[in-house]
Amino acid sequence: MFKVEKLDRSFGAKVFDIALTDIQEDEMQELYQLWLEHALLIFPGQNLNNEEQVKFAKRFGNLEFDLSPISNVRTDGTVRDPYDDDIVKSLRGNMEWHHDSTYMPIQAKGAVFTAHIVPKKGGETGWADCRASYEALDQEMKDKIDELSAFHSYEFSQKDRFGHKSKEESEFNSYGFDVDPKPLRPLVKTHPETGVKCLTIGRHVHRIPGMSDMEAQKLAKDLEEFTTGNKFWTYHHSWESGDAVIWDNRCLMHQACPWDLTEPRTMYHARLEGNAITEAASNYL
């Protein structure tokens, strides 16, 4: 049986003595429960190829999309312009804390992420525990936010802020830019599988009905800083090529850390589809 080493944090564990290409059904059930409990599982040295990654991800449920390279390297091996390239702009956007696909009608359930080419320094991925931070809020704040919902917009958090080119001129696929209406989601989510309450916040929060945009974004930022400012609730992973992770996007936020963008970094991301009811925005139900 595999070996589990809990991180010295409120979440996360490293898993050893396991081959992700060869997991038996009974082990899979145990692994799934482990994932729900720790929200982030790290598997060092797996060296999954693209096909193996998709196959492993599918054991956790349907995929929102199979595989996307998260990379500043073109298919011909050259490194993209660090400043004037829409793909690199999307990488810069990923450096802000977020949950994946909260700007889509259905929020993602999670993701399997693998490291292929890693820079000498930087380029870590960080996660933050939005269960622990919600739990620790004072009652006054809980009362204030428990019934609030926010519109999430990738047009606001990425397209407008980073100045993307038009769809026709851009190499970035514009996934999520045109979603209309913008999805409305409760600030406090009850996790559909564990029943634990957690915050749904991050960079895509644009508007909160009943507040000015400035007030709404300040509230989201305050909650984000409360969450990410506590070392026990965050973990940043320094990648080695060959590492694989799976995280629960319903209760964790994540971010990429900066690196020298003239250096190549290539990761692959398989996105798990959220449940059509429990991860749906309230205006899409």
The distance of closest approach from Cβ of residue 41 to Fe ion in the complex, given in angstroms and rounded to an integer, is 17
Which C-beta is closer to Fe ion: that of 105 or that of 176?
A: 176
Residue showing the smallest CB distance to Fe ion in the complex: 100
State how far the Cα of 53 lies from the Cα of 30, in Å rounded to an integer: 19
85 binds Fe ion (CB under 5 A): no
CB of 257 to Fe ion, least distance (A): 13
Q: Which residues, numbered 90-119, are part of the site for Fe ion (CB under 5 A)?
A: 100
Task: DSSP letter for 219, please.
Answer: H
Torsion sign over Cα 77, 100, 155, 62: positive
Does 224 interact with Fe ion (rule: CB under 5 A)? no
Q: Which is nearer to Fe ion, 33 or 238 (CB)?
A: 238
Site string for Fe ion, 41-80 (x = CB under 5 A): ----------------------------------------
> What long-range pairs does 43-46 form, CB within 8 A, spacing at least 24?
43/14, 43/15, 43/18, 43/243, 43/244, 43/245, 44/14, 44/16, 44/240, 44/242, 44/243, 45/240, 45/242, 45/243, 46/19, 46/20, 46/114, 46/242, 46/243, 46/244
Least distance from C-beta 98 to Fe ion, angstroms?
Answer: 6
Q: How many residues are present in the chain?
A: 285
Question: Could you give the string, one character per residue 162-201, with x where binding to Fe ion holds by CB under 5 A and - elsewhere?
Answer: ----------------------------------------
Between 116 and 155, how does the x/- string for binding to Fe ion read (CB under 5 A)? ----------------------------------------
Instruction: State in angstroms the smallest separation of the CB of 99 from Fe ion.
Output: 8
Smallest distance, Å, CB 152 to Fe ion? Answer: 13
Q: How far apart, in Å, do the first and last CA atoms of the chain sit?
A: 41
Residue 81 CB partners (closer than 8 Å, separation 6+): 88
Least Å distance between CB 19 and Fe ion? 27
The CA distances from residue 91 to 22, 122, 127, in Å, are: 32, 14, 16
Q: Which helix (H) or strand (E) holds 217?
A: helix 213-228
Size of the site for Fe ion (CB under 5 A): 1
| Residues at the site binding Fe ion, with contacts judged by CB under 5 A | 100
